[in-house]
Structure 1
Amino acid sequence: MVSKLKLKIKDAIASRSNTARSIFSIFVLRGGNILIQLLIIPLSIKYVSSSSFGLWLTVSSMIAWLNIMDIGLSAGLRNKLTEAITLKDKDLAKSYVSTTYALLSFMALGGLLVCTLLIFFLDWRTILTIPKDLSYGSFEGLLCIVAISFFISFLLKPISGVAYATHKPETEYFILFISNLINILLIWGVSFVYPGEGY
């Protein structure tokens, strides 16, 4: 009886310690993400003209709207994976993850194909105001990069569902922090190799 009570107390302390560590990690990583986003803006404006930066903001806002449409697969995976983990059924958990990724891969490839066709067959000059200092070919290249990045992030979204199901929510923020850090380092590196247009 006493040993069971000691074990329960030990588990409760370990659980609280894990929770506190997760909360602290999320707080630090969110702060880091905000700081990086604040640093990316002046660095980007310094690299491209302000009109090109405005176009970049428009395109990235459109992608953010699309990013909201998750179709519920990540949330569904999180819920079903939590059930499988609770039942200690590893095979069922693996099948949920593999099925979700198979569906998302199929959707991402189909979406990328549709986007590629739209990018090269629509006249974007009638849809968006493209700055005169940006060639139409460069703009199509920009759209291709944005489409590819969107579908890569679409495929990586279920990682957050898996992280929450396994009680590791800080993983999602860590991945976001690393991707933002890579973005700012790439922009900073490219600005040295290819000097931008400035203000």
Structure 2
Amino acid sequence: MTLDVSKERTRNYLQQIKGAVVYKAVAMLASFLAIPLMIRYLGQEQFGVWSTLLTVMSWIVFFDLGVGNGLRNKVAEALARNDRKEAADYIASGYSLIGLIALALWVLVTGVSFFVPWQTVFNTQGIPEATLRLTVQIAVFFIVLNFWIGLISALLGAVQKTAMAALGQLISNVLALLFVFVLTKTTDTAISYLALAYGLSLVTANIVLSFWFFYQQNCDLRPTPSLDKTHIKPLLSIGLKFFTIQLAVLVIFSTDKMLITQLFGPEYVTQYDVVFKLFSVITFAHTLISMPLWSAYTDAYHRGDMAWIKRMLHKQLIIFIGVIISVIVVGFLARPLIAIWIGREIDVSYPLIIAIGLFVLVSAWNNIYAMFVNGIGDIKIQLYTAVIAMFLNVPLSIIFVKYLGLGLSGIVMATIVSLSLAAVALPIQVNRIMRLGVKVVSA
């Protein structure tokens, strides 16, 4: 029976990758086509503001207190024990809790938006204060709504259907491309219109996925209003650890664009964003290979199938060699590719390209081990390294830029140094668990 389960887990893992490859490829193509359209529609400065705004607004997602990731683990554990009733109870409590948090966040952030000097925040005088405020309010509404209905991604991961989450991204990106194209043909430059188009594309995708999951596949898991303490407490217990890690990641990555905006100006965010977008081909490819393993590791671990886990970790290290080669190739071709894709008006430096290439390598390496520890819920080491990295990133960025003169690439190098702590600690932790060959944490 264990061998059959192991084979089925591997078969499903490969199936999810195949499906995700197709969906991600189309989603990435749509995203790449949308970038030059948005830059031409808004101009470099307004696009830099838009990119920074999305980064700041993404902070809202982290206020789920890690419930999404906790829900993913708890539902996966319950399903590994064939206890669908418990899975349904966790889903009901998770949706109810996040719904209340989302409502509170929408009221709070929308109210505060009237008192924030947005032109100062985004370091721009090119967009009227009222327009910036309206844009923020539109973005907040849709992001908070998606904050709630976006829990479907965690559930798709829990049932090891990550390809469907990739389908959701495809739907969102294609809709965004269509909406932006329509805007370029029918309206004058208006960042608030872009916020509306982005929000509609985002929530539509998750509504489609939710309907498929709850009404076509898993009617017995459909959420009902419930705040059961016996399920809220475990969700928050592991969720708060994930939340702290997410908060650290938020500071590390989101503040990079804010630092660039303040130290160099919003137009430099466009350079940074374009190079990151180019290397995202590699990041997306590696993510679609590794992400299905999160809940697969949960399932294997709680069934005691350590042999399967060891095989998968070994294969991920082999795949990492391909990531290294891909980064080198993209690095050499980056400038001509950007010239073809965006145009020659975007001039990026080789130090920035090299720095972002190194960042992709460190992130992919960490991701190999993070998927396993996330899956089994043993995330203390990851928590500690993330918190330390959070406190290191901003001062290191300032030192690298102002005192070492590394320019824009200094921001990325500071992130790399911060992430290097996990790059050393996580492999040591995973190897220790593999040597023990038994569970070292409780479910």
Alignment TM-score, normalising by the size of structure 2: 0.39
Match of residue 143, structure 1, among 122, 133, 136: 136
Secondary structure of the structure 2 residue equivalent to 1:125: helix
Match of residue 56, structure 1, among 50, 56, 62: 50
Match of residue 98, structure 1, among 79, 92, 97: 92
The one-letter code matched in structure 2 to 1:157 is G
Q: Specify whether residues 177 and 68 from structure 1 end up closer, same or farther in structure 2 by C-alpha distance, changes over 3 A only.
A: farther
Instruction: Verify the 8 A CA contact 2:64 2:101 in the aligned structure 1.
Output: no
CA RMSD of aligned residues (A): 2.5
Match of residue 174, structure 2, among 181, 188, 196: 181
Give 1:73-84 correspondences, 5 Å limit: 73-84=67-78
Of 104-113 and 157-166, deviating more is: 157-166
Please tell me whether residue 31 in structure 1 is matched to residue 30 in structure 2: no
Give, in angstroms, the shift of residue 83 of structure 1.
Answer: 2.4
Matching residue of 1:85: 79
Q: Distance in 2 between matches of 1:51 and 1:15?
A: 48
Q: Specify whether residues 13 and 127 from structure 1 end up closer, same or farther in structure 2 by C-alpha distance, changes over 3 A only.
A: closer
Give 1:146-161 correspondences, 5 Å limit: 146-161=139-154
Q: Distance in 2 between matches of 1:144 and 1:65?
A: 14
Q: Distance in 2 between matches of 1:93 and 1:13?
A: 24
Provide Cα deviations, 1:74-120, integer angstroms capped at 9, x if missing partner. 11111211222233333322111111011111111111111111111
Matching residue of 2:111: 117
Instruction: Verify the 8 A CA contact 2:106 2:144 in the aligned structure 1.
Output: yes
Sequence identity percentage = 24
The one-letter code matched in structure 1 to 2:33 is L
Instruction: Verify the 8 A CA contact 1:46 1:196 in the aligned structure 2.
Output: no
Provide Cα deviations, 1:96-155, integer angstroms capped at 9, x if missing partner. 1111011111111111111111111222233332333x3222211110121122212311
Instruction: Verify the 8 A CA contact 2:79 2:87 in the aligned structure 1.
Output: yes
Instruction: Verify the 8 A CA contact 2:71 2:94 in the aligned structure 1.
Output: yes
Q: Distance in 1 between matches of 2:189 and 2:120?
A: 27
Alignment TM-score, normalising by the size of structure 1: 0.82
Of 65-74 and 25-34, deviating more is: 65-74
Q: Distance in 2 between matches of 1:191 and 1:123?
A: 28
Structure 2 alignment gaps of length 5 or more? 191-344, 346-443
Structure 1 alignment gaps of length 5 or more? none
